Structure 1
Amino acid sequence: MSLIEAAFSLASTSTSLSLRLCRNSTKRIGDIEDGIEIDTIHKNKKKKHQSLLRRFKTKTGLFVTDITSTEWCEKQKELYLVYGKPKASEAMKAGSARHALLEQEVITKVDIIIRSAEEHWALKMINFIHGTNQLFLDGLTRELPLIGFANDVCVVGVIDELRLKTGTVTLVETKTRSQNNLPSEPQQRNGRLQLMCYKYLWDKLLAHPFPTQHFIQLFSLNPDYLLSQEIRELAIQAGAPIQT
Structure 2
Amino acid sequence: MANLRDPVIGPVIRAEGLTKVYRSGPVEVQALRGVDFTAAAGEFVVILGPSGSGKSTFLNILGGLDTASAGRVWFRGLDLTALDDRGLTRYRRDHVGFVFQFYNLVPSLTALENVALVTEIARNPMPPAEALALVGLSARRDHFPAQLSGGEQQRVAIARAIAKRPELLFCDEPTGALDSATGIKVLEALTEVNRATGATTLVITHNAAIREIADRSLRFADGRIAEEVVNPVRKAPTEVSW
| TM-score, normalization by structure 1 | 0.24
Of Structure 1 and Structure 2, which has the larger fraction of its residues in strand?
2
Of Structure 1 and Structure 2, which has the larger fraction of its residues in helix?
1
